């Protein structure tokens, strides 16, 4: 089924305290290939008891891990980064098999995930404190930063490598240890990453991975166990809100990377070809299943028809199929449930007057979860399609007349992760940069994520930032020392 150069990367047991282990009850769950519907693995289905064991191990390991010098932690992270890149091809094969994205994208995700490990290997050495001018001459005010302790990480299926790497890397850099729970749809990439961390020499208990289907019970243990000092969650806003409540009991610190609903605004002065290229990258990457995907296209009325023509032409080049096949540019959705959700949103938009301007004809004979790339015109500005994350390859185009209209439409949502705008007008860029209510704005680009930049949202898209020098802040406590002489 899969031919790995390093077969040891194929792990199906949970990883607790440096040991690969089955569920105590010997239970397993099936992992499916979304491109074929085939079961590709049976993975240990662990529960609360094993999660507690992992937390205890992480708490024990943290005492020594925090005592290592920053240079030692940096070196271990660097070794892990080197191994991830060395095994990029195998890791990409595993990722495509369990998640569905085309191999070229999977290779990109491995490199992207690894770049966070490399970045935080460097940042580990740059966690600085402060010396502050005191109120009297016989005093000294010092500020030091200390690791928060044991971190729990819960990650989604759409980027099974990168979402985990950008939590584990800053946590370890800061001197924290971690218990990670990957999504049940995609545990294999997380386990392969943990295997490489073990090979890199990262000590037992520093990284633990609990795989299981009872996410509510595992999540309850991760949030309610007082040994865990922080939760970092990437996933839906609904689950995020629930986890906030659970963390309230012991006032646990939280980083939340939640859902988005990105507006993609094209003005009549834009380079339309660049805007179409940006739209393709932003909308159709990972079959539209990214949190920063363009979800709503607002196009200036004078260029609305031309933009849709150009976008249609580009969409005609998309090749839908099994991500493992060389020519595929767009893979399946994650599940049948995902297809039904996208179809319901499209049906609702059509019932409100939208029309399909283009739809790829699928020639898929397999049992996979494929949805055809679709372009919808005349979408009602308040349809569900514009208010919810589509999470599928559907582009919804809505015309607008003025800059202020576009801003008002873009901000008319409870979430605020990413926004994109295409224009050549400097004054307009300043106005949009000021007024768009999102944590990130792509200006004349559809691709904004990288390890150097602070990734995160405002409004109901979450708290905190991942990546960049800000990314370490979520994993350290500030301690102020008041010295008197």
The residue number with the shortest CB distance to ligand NAP is 219
- Looking up tokens 């966690």, which residue turns up? 127
Whether 291 is catalytic is yes
C-alpha closest to that of 333 among 325, 341, 192: 341
Interface with ligand NAP (CB under 6 A), residue from 90, 123, 221, 257: 257
The DSSP secondary structure of 78-124, one letter per residue, reads HHHHHHHHHTHHHHHHHHHHHH---HHHHHHHHHHHHHHHHHHHHHG
Interaction of residue 345 with ligand NAP, rule CB under 6 A:
no
Distance, in Å, from the CA atom of 193 to the CA atom of 190, rounded to the nearest integer, reads: 5
Interaction of residue 266 with ligand NAP, rule CB under 6 A:
no
Binding segment (CB under 6 A) for ligand NAP, from list 74-82, 155-163, 346-354, 475-483: 155-163
Tokens of 112: 């992207």
Nearer to ligand NAP, 216 or 362 (CB): 216
Cβ-proximal residues to 170 (8 Å cutoff; 6+ apart), any chain: 116, 120, 123, 466, 471, 472, 474, 475
Interface with ligand NAP (CB under 6 A), residue from 74, 155, 295, 438: 155
Interaction of residue 236 with ligand NAP, rule CB under 6 A:
yes
| DSSP-derived 3-state class of residue 245 | helix
Interaction of residue 351 with ligand NAP, rule CB under 6 A:
no
Interaction of residue 22 with ligand NAP, rule CB under 6 A:
no
Distance, in Å, from the CA atom of 339 to the CA atom of 441, rounded to the nearest integer, reads: 29
Tokens of 396: 């919804």
CB 351 within 8 Å of CB 357? no
Rounded to the nearest whole angstrom, what is the least distance from the CB of residue 456 to ligand NAP in the complex? 7
Nearer to ligand NAP, 158 or 208 (CB): 158
Interface with ligand NAP (CB under 6 A), residue from 13, 60, 82, 242: 242
Q: How many residues bind ligand NAP (CB under 6 A)?
A: 28
State the binding string over 392-431 for ligand NAP (x if CB under 6 A, else -). -------------------------x--------------
Tokens of 46: 């662990």
Residue numbers 289-328 binding ligand NAP by CB under 6 A: 291
- CA 428 to chain CA centroid, nearest Å: 30
Interaction of residue 90 with ligand NAP, rule CB under 6 A:
no
Interaction of residue 184 with ligand NAP, rule CB under 6 A:
yes
Interface with ligand NAP (CB under 6 A), residue from 183, 294, 299, 419: 183
Binding segment (CB under 6 A) for ligand NAP, from list 148-156, 188-196, 371-379, 380-388: 148-156
Rounded to the nearest whole angstrom, what is the least distance from the CB of residue 454 to ligand NAP in the complex? 11
Q: How far is CA 44 from CA 20, 95, 213, 466, in A?
A: 10, 18, 9, 29
Rounded to the nearest whole angstrom, what is the least distance from the CB of residue 143 to ligand NAP in the complex? 29
Instruction: Out of 161, 176, 247, 291, pick the active-site residue.
Output: 291
Residue numbers 444-473 binding ligand NAP by CB under 6 A: 457, 462
Binding segment (CB under 6 A) for ligand NAP, from list 34-42, 68-76, 139-147, 149-157: 149-157
Strand extents, DSSP E, 258-393? 262-266, 294-300, 355-359, 374-377
Nearer to ligand NAP, 129 or 454 (CB): 454
Whether 421 is catalytic is no
CB 370 within 8 Å of CB 333? yes
Number of alpha helices (DSSP H) and beta strands (DSSP E) in the chain: 14, 22
* Per-residue three-class SS string for 176-214: CEEEEECCCCCHHHHHHHHHHHHHCCCCCCCEEECCCCC
Rounded to the nearest whole angstrom, what is the least distance from the CB of residue 67 to ligand NAP in the complex? 31
Tokens of 485: 């002489």
Q: How far is CA 375 from CA 98, 239, 303, 378, in A?
A: 27, 30, 16, 10
Interaction of residue 158 with ligand NAP, rule CB under 6 A:
yes
C-alpha closest to that of 394 among 374, 377, 378: 374
Rounded to the nearest whole angstrom, what is the least distance from the CB of residue 427 to ligand NAP in the complex? 30
Rounded to the nearest whole angstrom, what is the least distance from the CB of residue 485 to ligand NAP in the complex? 47
Instruction: Out of 109, 118, 257, 466, pick the active-site residue.
Output: 257
Residues interacting with ligand NAP, by CB under 6 A?
154-159, 163, 181, 183-185, 215-216, 219, 234-236, 239, 242, 257-260, 291, 389, 417, 457, 462
Catalytic residue ranges: 257, 291
């Amino acid at each position: 089924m899969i031919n790995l150069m390093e077969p040891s990367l194929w792990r199906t047991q949970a990883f607790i305290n440096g040991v690969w282990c089955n569920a105590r009850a010997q239970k397993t769950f099936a992992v499916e290939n979304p491109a074929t519907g085939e079961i590709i693995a049976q993975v240990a289905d662990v529960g609360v008891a094993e999660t507690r064991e992992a937390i205890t191990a992480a708490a024990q390991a943290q005492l020594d891990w925090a005592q290592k010098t920053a240079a030692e932690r940096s070196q271990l992270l660097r070794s892990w980064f080197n191994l991830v890149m060395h095994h990029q091809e195998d890791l990409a094969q595993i990722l495509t098999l369990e998640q569905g994205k085309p191999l070229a994208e999977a290779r990109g995700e491995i490199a992207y995930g690894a770049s966070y490990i490399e970045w935080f290997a460097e940042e580990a050495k740059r966690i600085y404190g402060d010396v502050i001018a005191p109120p009297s001459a016989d005093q000294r005010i010092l500020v030091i930063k200390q690791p928060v302790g044991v971190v729990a990480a819960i990650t989604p299926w759409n980027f099974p490598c990168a979402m985990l790497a950008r939590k584990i890397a800053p946590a370890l850099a800061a001197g924290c240890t971690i218990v990670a729970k990957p999504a049940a749809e995609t545990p294999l990439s997380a386990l392969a990453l943990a295997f490489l961390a073990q090979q890199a020499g990262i000590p037992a208990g520093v990284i633990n991975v609990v795989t299981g289907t009872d996410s509510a019970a595992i999540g309850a243990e991760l949030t309610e166990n007082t040994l865990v000092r922080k939760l970092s969650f990437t996933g839906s806003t609904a689950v995020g809100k629930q986890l906030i409540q659970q963390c309230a009991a012991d006032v646990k610190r939280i980083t939340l990377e939640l859902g988005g609903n990105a507006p993609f605004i094209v003005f009549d002065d834009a380079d339309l070809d660049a805007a179409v290229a940006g739209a393709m990258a932003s909308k159709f990457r990972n079959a539209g299943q990214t949190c920063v995907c363009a979800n709503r296209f607002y196009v200036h009325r004078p260029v609305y028809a031309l933009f849709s023509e150009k976008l249609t032409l580009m969409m005609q080049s998309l090749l839908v199929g099994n991500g493992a096949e060389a020519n595929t540019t767009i893979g399946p959705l994650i599940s049948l449930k995902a297809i039904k959700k996208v179809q319901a949103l499209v049906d609702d938009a059509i019932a409100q007057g939208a029309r399909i301007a283009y739809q790829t004809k699928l020639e898929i004979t397999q049992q996979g979860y494929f949805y055809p790339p679709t372009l919808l015109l005349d979408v009602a500005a308040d349809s569900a399609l514009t208010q919810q994350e589509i999470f599928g390859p559907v582009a919804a185009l809505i015309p607008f007349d003025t800059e202020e209209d576009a801003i008002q439409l873009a901000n008319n949502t409870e979430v605020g992760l990413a926004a994109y705008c295409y224009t050549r007008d400097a004054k307009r860029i300043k106005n949009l940069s000021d007024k768009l209510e999102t944590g990130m704005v792509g200006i004349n680009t559809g691709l904004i994520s990288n390890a150097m930049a602070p990734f995160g949202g405002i409004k109901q898209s979450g708290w905190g930032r991942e990546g960049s020098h800000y990314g370490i802040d979520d994993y350290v406590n500030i301690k102020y020392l008041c010295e008197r002489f």
